[in-house]
Structure 1
C-alpha cells in the first residue's frame, strides 16, 4: 500500500490557493479573495496536524514520510522530500504563521488607493511563499533545495517592492534581491562542484548519497563548505552580510517581515545544520573557531545597533541579527545541548519575532501618518492596554525572560557552548543584558509617559487582531512552561548531527569518565 504523500500535499495546496486567489482578484468575485486565502491557509493547518500525527516522534532523528521520484536524472536531480524532527518544527512554524499574517493584513491598505485586487495579489504571493517555505525545509535533494532557495526570492521581492511602505521600498527590494542572488550564485558553483565530487548517477544530489561519499580533497571540501556557508550566512543573516535586513524590514509590510525574519531567514541556519555539517564534517570543524567569533560579533553588534535605532521596524530587525548569532553559536559549539538549543531557538525566535512585527504593524496602523518612529508614540498603555501588554510579552520574549519559550532555547545554547568555549559563552551573555536595554527602553518610549495629542483616540486591539496575536503569545507561554514536546523533536537529531561531524559531546565524555571511575 502506498502511503499518503503528506509532504507533497503540504507543498501543492498553497500553490493551488495562490492561483485561485490570483484569478479571483481579477474577477467580480475579488471581494472574497481574503476569505479564500484564509480558507486555504487553514486547510494547510489541518493538513499539518495530520502530518504531525503520521510522524513517529520516537524516531525524530530519521527522515520520515519519504517520497523520492526521478526529476532530472541526467543531472542527478530527484524530487525527494522527507522530514526529521527539526524540519517538522520549522514546517509547523511556516504553516502556523501564514494564516496569522493573512489575518493581520485583512483590513490593511496595501496600496495608496487600497485596491482590493492588489490585496488579492498580496494574498496570492503569501500563499505561494508558504509553498516554497514548506518545500525547502523538506527537500532531501541538494539540487531541489537550491532551486527552491532561489525561487522563493520571487514572491518576497514583489511583497517588498510592490506592497512595501515609503519611497525606499524598491531600493530595499532590490538590495534584498542582490544580496540573495549573490549568495545563490556562490552556492550554485558549490552545488555543481559537489556533484562532480560525489558518487554521481541519477540520484547524485540526494543528501544521503552525498554524506560520507565525497571524493574531494581537504582543500576542495573547505571551498565547498564556504560556498554553502556564505549563502546561508547572507540568508540568516550574520554579520557582516546582514545589511539588507534592516532596510528590508523598514520598508516591507509587517506581515512580510514576520514571514521573512520569522521563517525564511531560518533557511540559513537550517542549511548550516542539515547541509554544511553532515556534508563537510572536516571543513565544519576547521571553520568553527572563526564562525563562533563571527556569531559572537553578531550577538553584540545586533544588540548595540538595536539600542540606537529610532525606527521600530529596524530595531526589531537588528534584534534578529543578535538572535541569529545565538543560533549559529549553538550550532558550531558542537555539543548536543547547544545544537538542540539552536534547533529549538529557530522555532521560538520565529514565534517571538512574528509577534513583534505583527504588533508593531498594528501600532503603526494606528498612527495618523503611519509613522514608524518610536519617538512619535507614548503613553499607549493607558488607552490601549491589550496592545501594550501583548507587545511587552513579545518584547520580554526577545530578552529571553524565564517562563517564555525563548529562555529555554537560549539557556541551552549558553550551557552547551560553555562546555566547549567558556569565554565565548560568558561574553555572549552580555547580549542578554543589552537585550533588556533595547526592549525595556523601547517599551518605555512607546507605551509610557504622556499620550501625544495625535494618538489620544487610539483604539485598543480589535477582536480580529486579538485572534492574530493570541496564538503567538500562547505559543511563547506554552513552550516556555512545557517545552518537552518540542525538545523531543530536536534532541535525537542533534546527536545524529554530532555523530556526522565526528565530534564527541563533552557531556558524554564526562559521563563515560564517571562510569569508568565508579566501576
Structure 2
C-alpha cells in the first residue's frame, strides 16, 4: 500500500462539487455558477502544485496512490503520473476552468448542467492517471454519461441525433476495448490489472497467437475516440450541436483519451503487436491529415470547419505514434504528445472564440460573418492568433509538435511525410480563407455594428490559452523534457 493523496484529491474534488451542487436550490443559479467555478479553479491550482512535485529526473510513475481493491482478481485502486499523464492532467484542469467560466451564459437547468460538468471533469482526470485497467475502463465509461446529457439537453436543434450518435460510437468502441482488456488479463497469467506490472511483463505476450486481433480491438476503441478515419463521423455532429464550452472539453480533452490510451495501454502492454500494426496506424494517420483538411475546405459552418481541423491535427498524433513504433525515436513520442497538448490549447481557444461570435450574431455561417475585425477587434485578434497556431506558424504552439511528427515520419516511411504535407498546405489555406472571410469585408448585417467586444470575463477565460500558445511555441523544452520522461514508463520497442 502506498498513498500520496494528491491525485485522489484532484480526481474526486470535482465529484464532491458535483454532489454538493445538487443540494443548492434551483433559484440560486448565480451561486451555483460561482461555486462550480471555484471547484474548477481549486482543482487547477492543485494540478499546478502536483506539477511542481513532479521530477523529470526520477524514472517511473510518481505520486502513487495504490490500495488493494478486489484482491481476488487483482484489481487495485492505483493512481500515478509520468510526464505524459502529468501534461494531460494539467490540460484537463486548465480547460475545465476555462470552459466553466465560458458557461456563465448557460441559464437553462443550471444546477444540472454544472453538476454534470464537474462529473465530466472527474471522469477525464481519472482516465489520465489510472494505472489499473479496470479503473481506467470505469473512468473511460464515466466520461460517456455526462457528455451524452450535456450534448442532448443543452445542445442545438439536432442535439438528440448528435448525442445518440456519440453514445453509440463511443459505447461500441468501449466494448471492443473491454474485450481487449479482459483478453490481456487472462493471457498474461499475472492475476493483475496493474498497468505498470503488465508493462514490465509485456514480453510474455510476444508469442501470443491472439496478440494481433486483441491489439486491433484495443486500437479500434482508441481510434473511435481520437477520432481516426473512418471512425470520425460522430465528431462533426457532436461539435456542431454541443454548447461551445462543452466543445472546448470535447476537442481539447476528450479526443486525447484515444491517443493517450494507445500509447499507455496499446504500446505499453503490447509493444510487439503494436509494432506489427505500425503501418496501418501510420496510413490511417496520413489519411486523417489529408481527409480532415479537405473536409474542412468545403464547410460553411464555422464550428464544423474547426471540428474537421481536429481530424487533421489528430492524424498527426497517429502519424507520430506509428513513427515511434517504426524507429523508437524519442522525438516521435514527443511529437505525438505535444500535438495532443497543443491541439487542446489551440482548438479549445478556437471553439471558445466561435462561441463568443455565435453568442453575439446567433449564426455560425461563414458567409454571414464578414467584417468582424472592425466590430469586435479583440475577439478577432484572438481568433487570428489561434488560427495561426492551428496552421503551425513558427513561434506558436502548433509548430513544434507537427515538425517533430513530420521529421519522425520521414525517417520512418518518407512517403508518409510527403503526403502529409498536402494536408498541412490545405489546412493552412482553409484557416487563411476563414480568417479572410470572417475578419474582413463588408459587414453583412447592419445590426452587427452594435455588437460589444469581449467582456472582462471572456477575455480572462481566453488569456491562459493565449499565453500557452506563445509559451509552447517559444519555450517548448519544459514540455518536451516532461514528455521524454514517459520513455521510462514504456517497454523497449522491438524495432525491426
Same fold, judged at TM 0.5 (above): yes
Aligned to 1:451, what secondary structure does the other structure show?
coil
Instruction: Name the CA shift for 1:289/1:465 in 2 (closer, same or farther; >3 Å).
Output: same
2:398 counterpart residue number: 406
Task: Tell me whether 1:457 sits opposite 2:450 in the alignment.
Answer: yes
1:362-401 equivalent positions in 2, closer than 5 A: 362-367=356-361, 370-401=362-393
Corresponding residue for 1:516?
none
Distance 1:442 1:458 in 2: 20
Alignment of 1:118-517 (within 5 A): 118-166=109-157, 168-201=158-191, 204-211=192-199, 212-213=201-202, 214-215=204-205, 217-334=207-324, 335-367=329-361, 370-452=362-444, 453-494=446-487, 497=490, 499-503=491-495
Match of 1:87 in 2: 85
Call closer, same or farther: CA 1:180–1:3 in 2, change over 3 Å.
closer
Aligned partners of 1:245, 1:191: CA distance in 2, in Å? Answer: 25
Partners of 1:29 and 1:169 in 2: how far apart?
27
Residue 210 of structure 1, CA deviation? 1.7
In the other structure, the counterpart of 2:5 is 5
Deviation at 1:42, TM superposition (A): 1.0
Q: How far has the Cα of 1:138 moved from its partner?
A: 0.4
Contact 2:2 2:67 survives alignment (8 Å): no
Shift of 1:199: 2.5
Q: Mark the CA change 1:313 to 1:426 in structure 2 (over 3 Å): closer, same or farther.
A: same
In the alignment, the residues of structure 1 paired with residue 21 and residue 133 of structure 2 have an alpha-carbon distance, to the nearest angstrom, of: 31
**In structure 2, distance between residues paired with 1:336 and 1:417:** 12
Secondary structure of the residue aligned to 1:233 is: helix
Q: Distance in 2 between matches of 1:284 and 1:342?
A: 15
Count how many residue pairs are aligned between Structure 1 and Structure 2. Answer: 489
C-alpha distance in 1 between matches for 2:150 and 2:480: 34
- State how far apart, in whole Å, the 1-side matches of 2:13 and 2:148 are: 22
TM-score, scaled to structure 1: 0.91
1:374-402 Cα offsets, whole Å, 9 max, x none, are 11111010121111110011011111000
How many angstroms apart in 2 are the aligned matches of 1:206 and 1:408?
33
Q: Which moved more, 1:79-88 or 1:219-228?
A: 219-228
- Look up the match of 1:511: none
Contact 1:104 1:468 (8 Å CA) reproduced: yes
Aligned match of 1:16: 16
SS in 1 for 2:433: helix
* Equivalent of 2:75 in 67, 74, 77: 77
Give the match for residue 44 of structure 1: 43
Q: 1:495 to 1:3 in 2, by over 3 A?
A: closer
Matches of 2:97 and 2:412, distance apart in 1: 41
CA distance 1:390–1:27, change in 2 (3 Å) = closer
User: Quick one: distance in 2 between partners of 1:431 and 1:23?
Assistant: 50
Residue 62, structure 1, aligned to residue 68, structure 2: no
What secondary structure is seen at the aligned counterpart in 2 of 1:456?
helix
Which residue of 82, 93, 103 corresponds with 2:101? 103
Q: CA deviation at 1:68?
A: 1.2
Return the alpha-carbon distance in structure 1 between the equivalents of residues 209 and 251 of structure 2.
34
- Cα distance per residue 1:64-107 (max 9 Å; x no partner): 0111112222332111110000100000000011111111111x
Q: Shift of the alpha carbon at 1:280?
A: 1.1
The C-alpha deviation readout for 1:104-156, integer Å capped at 9, x for no partner, is 111x2x4xxx44xx122212211111111111100111111111111110000
| Equivalent position SS for 2:63 | strand
Q: Secondary structure at the match of 1:232?
A: helix
State the shift of 1:232 in Å. 0.1
Q: Which runs of 5+ in 1 are unaligned?
A: 505-519
TM-score (norm 2): 0.96
Structure 2 stretches lacking a partner, 5+ long: none
Q: Deviations over 1:464-513 (max 9, x none)?
A: 1100111111110011111111111012324764x532238xxxxxxxxx
Contact 1:278 1:501 in 2 (8 A): no
Structure 2 residue matching 1:239: 3-state secondary structure? coil
**Separation in structure 2 between the aligned mates of residue 221 and residue 278 of structure 1, nearest angstrom:** 13
**CA shift for structure 1 position 62:** 1.4
